[in-house]
A and B are shown apart, each in its own frame.
Chain A
Amino acid sequence: MLSQHLPILLVVVPLLAAPIIVLLRRSFPSWLVATLASIATLAIALPLLARAVSEGVISYAIGNWPPPLGIEYRVDAANAFVAFIVSLIGVFVMPYCRHGVSSEVRAEEHYLFYAMMMLCLSGLLGILLTGDAFNLFVFLEISSLATYVLIAMGRDRRALVASYQYLLMGTIGATLYVIGIGLLYLQTGTLNLADLAVRLPAMGDPRSTLAALAFITVGISLKIALFPLHLWLPNAYAYSPSAVSAFLAATATKVSIYVLMRYFFTIFGETVVFDARYTGVILLALSLAAMFIPAVVAIFQTDVKRLLAYSSVSQIGYITLGISLNSVGGLTAAVAHLFNHALTKGGMFLVLGGVVLRLGGSALDRMAGLGRTMPIAAFAFVIGGLSLIGIPGTAGFVSKWYLVTAAMAEGQWWLAGAVMLSSLLAVIYVWRFVEVAYFREPPEGLPPPGEAPLTMLLPALAMIVACVWFGLDASWSGSMARAAAEALAGGWK
């Protein structure tokens, strides 16, 4: 009986946890409820993914109103896999918060912090599972509003400005998205995504469809932080509490990328988006720009958190490059990198959070001699860095391999070279950390900081180990990415 309700339970469990946490008010019980809720979401997401892969599309009618009329939750391999990624990251991040947050958020605000984390999780999962264009917007707002609050909770006063900046950009993005679905609704009279996918091709290719496509693409690209629209991201990641940076870097932009893929391939269809116009070329150009320009900017950062943030913008370029290839291979690479980059960047931010706790800041200069004073953290960070570069044996290599193979299958040999060149830039910014941490003397006169507490170190190490694990054995993640890509390209038939 319960198994048929899995799609809704995945969203409802964290949604219920948030108000319960607000009622509890105390720091420890709040953390406990949040952690249990995040474990429960993973326990729901796993069987849901298994069912979606074996059975195909699962449809769930909210309130028992039959689909195009009522709100439908529609799950297939693609969104079930991304939902699995999001809940997995949640399980890593929530236990970490116990100590990670205590030093960065005021004690009397702890319960609000956990409530916001739960709302953010619930919103992200809702975006993924819903089959309704407007419901998607509502969840986009829930997760975004929670995110703005979480970023503003950073102890640096600049966190407020960063949050405000993101609020402005995010609101513009959400508004553009709503204008887009408004245009689609005017044309087709439906908000159900599957119904839209059936009705839009029958409309032909009128100008209002194009306007809707343009509004939705730009709106969602703002949330993705696609290259020229990424300006909110570095500050938001740099000044938010470490656990929040890790959670957002691993989930928020990824969920928006899923939305973009869903609209491009399932709803508008590749004939409208790619074959009839230059979307592919534009997206390719922007992806290339994203792979190079933010990577160069990352090299010149003096703060490790900002360095990772710019690296995130650069890595998003690889994912959108996979989308721009407009093939199942390219989509597989995009989804695989979604998963691998979530593990890598999430793990690196978690390790960095422990370092920041002990050193009191994330400036690169403070990390001098870290290889000796915090050997485990420094080593884990370097492994994560290797995965960012794409060294064989790490998760980052697997997705870059898929990407290069997909590019070659399309006959775009030069793209392989571009991916290699951009990886070299990653070598430089990772090397800057290695140089400071291993080839500089630790500051004298200060007591050695010691490793981070176990509750922080273990989740961080678990993610880094996962990053190596899925680099050595990519059969499961690869097959999931392929199933997701086929589900996206095949449409909701």
Chain B
Amino acid sequence: MRLDVILRVLAKLLIPFAVMFASYVQFHGDFGPGGGFQAGVIVAAAVIFYGLIYGLPSAREVVPDVLVEAMIAIGVLVYAGVGVAGLLLGGNYLDYFVLDHDPVHGQHRGIFWVEVGVAITVSAVMLKIFYVFAGRRRDAGGEDS
């Protein structure tokens, strides 16, 4: 397997840019096309790409299963937490107006954290699906009920 050196080098070159593009999609999502879902998918795609080239075990070393599962939950908590923050600051659930002195800033802040939550959960779910399907034969060994 010496011949895949091109793939390995290219992957090393491309993955940082993929992650950077994901953060552009994430943070520019307020003004242009993009947002948490798309950014989450791109981050997950970067890790999946790493897993395809360097093998599933090394991908699992970089992003372990426990972390992936925790991220699924944390993203939901962040999203729901924004709603609860609105409640605590005296507004309704998911009320972004009260998150800042200036209501427009409040809207901005609210959607920012919601998109962060979405990105975390989406990337983790994508990875989880990849891990489950790719690791099926290795983990299960026939018993998978």
Given the complex, which residues of A lie within 8 Å of B83, measured CB to CB?
8, 12
* Min distance, Cβ A121 to any Cβ of chain B, angstroms: 15
**Which residues in A have their C-beta under 8 angstroms from that of B46?**
none
Contact B93 A23 (CB under 8 A): no
> In the complex, A200→B145 CA distance in Å?
49
Nearest chain-B residue to A106 (Cβ)?
Answer: B145
Contact with B along A337-352 (1 / 0, CB 8 A): 0000000000000000
Is B53 on the interface with A (CB-CB < 8 A)? no
A62 touches B92 (CB 8 A): yes
| Residue from B69, B91, B94 with most neighbouring chain A CB atoms (10 Å) | B94
Whether A8 lies near B92 (C-beta < 8 A) is yes
Q: Does A117 contact B (CB under 8 A)?
A: no
C-alpha spacing A23/B145, complex, angstroms: 24
Known: A19-B76, A23-B74. A64 touches B84 (CB 8 A): no
Evaluate whether A20 and B80 lie within 8 angstroms (CB atoms) in the complex, with A8-B92, A63-B92 already known: no
**Please, how many angstroms separate the alpha-carbon atoms of A5 and B93 in the complex?**
8
Beta-carbon contact of A22 and B80 below 8 Å: no
Q: Is A16 an interface residue (CB 8 A)?
A: yes
Q: Indicate if the CB atoms of A5 and B69 lie closer than 8 Å.
A: no
Q: Which residues of A, 1-35, contact B by the 8 Å Cβ criterion?
A: 1, 5, 8, 12, 15-16, 18-20, 22-23, 25
Instruction: Please tell me if the beta carbons of B73 and A20 are within 8 angstroms of each other in the complex.
Output: yes
Q: Say if the beta carbon of B132 comes within 8 Å of chain A.
A: no
Interface SS of chain A = helix
- Are A16 and B93 in contact, with the CB atoms below 8 A? no
Contact (Cβ within 8 A) B73 A22: yes
Q: Are A62 and B77 in contact (CB under 8 A)?
A: no
User: Interface size for chain B: under 10, 10 to 19, 20 to 34, or 35 or more residues?
Assistant: 20 to 34
Q: Which residues of A contact B76 (CB under 8 A)?
A: 15, 18-19
Let me know if A60 is at the binding interface, CB within 8 A: yes
B69 nearest CB neighbor, chain A only: A22
**Closest B residue to A19 using CB positions:** B73
* Chain B residue at minimal CB-CB distance from A115: B73
A22 to B96, CA, bound (A): 27
Tell me the complex Cα distance, A23–B74, Å: 8
Write out, one digit per residue, whether chain A residues 156-178 have a CB within 8 A of any chain B CB (1) or not (0): 01001000000000000000000
Could you give, for residues 62-80 of chain B, a 1 whenever the CB lies within 8 Å of some chain A CB and a 0 otherwise?
A: 0000000110111011001
- A285 at the binding interface (Cβ < 8 Å): no
Bound-state Cα–Cα, A25 to B69, Å: 10
Chain B residues, Cβ within 8 Å of A25: 69
Number of A-B contacts (CB under 8 A): 54
Bound: A62/B114 CA distance, A: 15
Flag if B74 contacts A19 (CB, 8 Å): yes
Q: Check A63 against B95 for contact (C-beta < 8 Å).
A: yes
| Residue among A16, A60, A160 making CB contact with B92, cutoff 8 Å | A60
Closest Cβ–Cβ distance, residue B79 to chain A (whole Å): 9
**Minimum CB–CB distance for A8 against chain B, Å:** 4
B83: min CB distance to chain A, Å:
7
Complex contact B92–A12 (CB within 8 A): no
Q: Which of A33-47 contact B (CB under 8 A)?
A: none
**Is A23 a contact partner of B92 (Cβ separation < 8 A)?**
no
Known contacts A19-B73, A20-B77, A22-B72, A5 near B84 by CB under 8 Å:
no
- Contact residues in A for B87 (Cβ distance below 8 Å): 5, 8
| B97 touches A (CB below 8 Å) | yes
Residues of B within 8 A of A (CB): 69-70, 72-74, 76-77, 80, 83-84, 86-87, 90-97, 145
A-B residue pairs in contact (CB < 8 Å), sample of 16: A1-B90, A5-B92, A5-B93, A8-B87, A8-B92, A15-B76, A15-B80, A18-B76, A19-B76, A22-B73, A23-B70, A23-B73, A60-B92, A64-B92, A64-B95, A157-B145
Given A60-B93, A64-B97, 17 further pairs, Cβ under 8 A = A1-B90, A5-B87, A5-B92, A8-B87, A8-B93, A12-B83, A15-B76, A18-B76, A19-B73, A20-B73, A22-B70, A23-B74, A63-B86, A63-B92, A63-B93, A64-B92, A160-B145
